[in-house]
Structure 1
Amino acid sequence: MAAKSQKVGGKGSKSALSNPSQGKGDPKNKKKVTLEGDDETDEKEGSLAYKVLSEDQCKTLLGQDVVEMQSTLCDIFKLHNYPTDLRDAGVLDYYTGACWWGKEQGFTPQQLSGFFTVVHTLLDNVKEQHMAMVDNLKEFKKMLIGIDPEYQEIKSAGLDFFNTQQAKALTNYITSCLFQHYKLYELMFTQTQAEEIIGTDLEIETAKPASVPFPPPLDEGVTQETFASYIATPPPTPEPEADKNEDGLVGEVEEEDKGMEELDAKLDTDIFSELTVEDVREVIESVAKELLNPLQSEIAAKLREKENILIGRINKVHKVADEGSP
């Protein structure tokens, strides 16, 4: 019985340490409680809050939108290669989703820091230790110890600032976010990403040195020889030089022109001066005949046609008159 009562007393002293109000009767227990209450370092070491994210970082994250939150987490964990590195992209997306979910749940900075410690630890077990899913589930279960008020005598794992409903929501989130995709995370952290090297050959024509008179035309982008041969406007053709052979060639041309003009004028005057009155009359009569003969024949044909029409009408009248007489 003495041994049993001693055992019960030992259990009571342990309970008194966990709840200072129960140990007021024992000065030894009171001294222990006082020392533990004054030692803030021991409290921080026993809690999972502020292990990964500090209080200031949590306050900053809770006041940001999702884009700013992603940028802040990228700077904190040095995940700047996420546009090209699959691992950095997956980790950054995992962390951003967890912080945003904690903000939607209305977590305090302490709760957000403790929740992020859980999220970070579980993912680190996959990344660094290559822990199996069953072992990682056991680690997660250990972190939840001490939340339920029915088990206050059990030493808390450091998440005692959550209530039961929050612990259930936290469990559902981690189950759907991490454990349902556990094989995918294992594959991401164990397999190396294939590198794709894409190259393009470019030919760049550099400018000619300044020793030449002027560079090739920039608008056309061709060499000077091609520009001068096919693009540049050709120079004007030289005009004939009038100074050469002034006494010889130019003089002969002018004399030929003057001779032709004199010959034309002479021919005109000589032809009309030799014509007589009879010649002029014959010319006029011949021209008149050529112009009037077709008109005369046409007029005669029209007259004959009119005449035939009139004769036919007269014959009809006589015929009618003869038929009407008795």
Structure 2
Amino acid sequence: MEEEIIAKDEEAMAWKFLSLEEVTILLELDIVGVQKALEEFLNLKHRLTSLKEAVILDYYISGFWWAKALEFTSVQLGGFLTLLNLLMENIDTKHMTLEQSIQELGYAMAGIGECNSVKSGGFEFFTVDQAKAIINYLKIRYFHLRS
């Protein structure tokens, strides 16, 4: 019940990429099922012949399993996947530089750990420790690849 209240309050950012229902489905699947579901959610039709699609799928699958291993709630998992999607759009659609992507991440994560922050990025459902873990994960997985 508490998860539903949080999900409604944080709906703006937690569910920008996948819905609560889609995240719930992913949480019930094994690794093959997660792969197939993400292929469908991302509309990837050529992952076996397209390196770009294969890399995109790997990006989301590894992020999902990392967040699940940290026992993120459904809301937090949805929010993390939204962050991954935001960063992917920065590369693919907006063609942002590394510095611009880091700045965008900072804006998105603003206000975590603060009560009623004016600078809220909409991801207040993460704890400060989770935010630090996310930043470390992204530094290794995302920003390292772009530098």
TM-score above 0.5 = yes
Q: Deviations over 1:254-299 (max 9, x none)?
A: xxxxxxxxxxxxxxxxxxxxxxxxxxxxxxxxxxxxxxxxxxxxxx
How far off is 1:152 after superposition? 3.8
TM-score (norm 1): 0.41
State yes or no: 1:135 paired with 2:103: no
Q: What is the CA distance between 1:44 and its match in structure 2?
A: 5.4
Aligned counterpart for 2:63 among listed residues 98, 103, 108: 98
1:17-56 counterparts in 2 under 5 A? 43=9, 47-56=12-21
Paired AA for residue 105 in structure 2: F
Q: In the TM superposition, what is the alpha-carbon distance from 1:61 to its structure 2 partner?
A: 0.9
Aligned to 2:3: none
2:91 to 114, 122, 126: 126
Unpaired stretches in structure 1, ≥5 consecutive residues: 1-39, 184-326
From 74, 82, 89, give the equivalent of 2:39: 74
TM-score in terms of structure 2 length: 0.89
Per-residue CA deviation, residues 38-76 of structure 1 (Å, 9 max, x unaligned), is xx7xx557x311111000111111121222111100011
Determine what percentage of the aligned residue pairs are the same residue.
Answer: 34
Aligned residues, how many? 140
SS of the counterpart of 2:29? coil
Shift >2 Å, 4+ stretches: 151-155
Whole-angstrom distance in 2 between the partners of 1:65 and 1:153:
38
The residue that corresponds to 1:219 in the other structure is: none
* Greater C-alpha Rg: 1
Q: Measured at CA, do residues 153 and 108 of structure 1 come closer, stay the same or move farther in structure 2, by a change above 3 Å?
A: closer
Q: Establish whether residue 157 from structure 1 lines up as the match of residue 121 from structure 2.
A: yes
Distance in 2 of aligned mates of 1:133 and 1:154: 26
Partner AA of 1:181 in structure 2: L
Alignment-mate amino acid for residue 139 of structure 2: T
Distance 1:171 1:153 in 2: 20
Provide the secondary structure at the position in 2 that maps to 1:181: helix
Residues 131-179 of structure 1: per-residue CA shift (max 9 Å, x gap): 0000110000011111123x64424211101111111111111111100
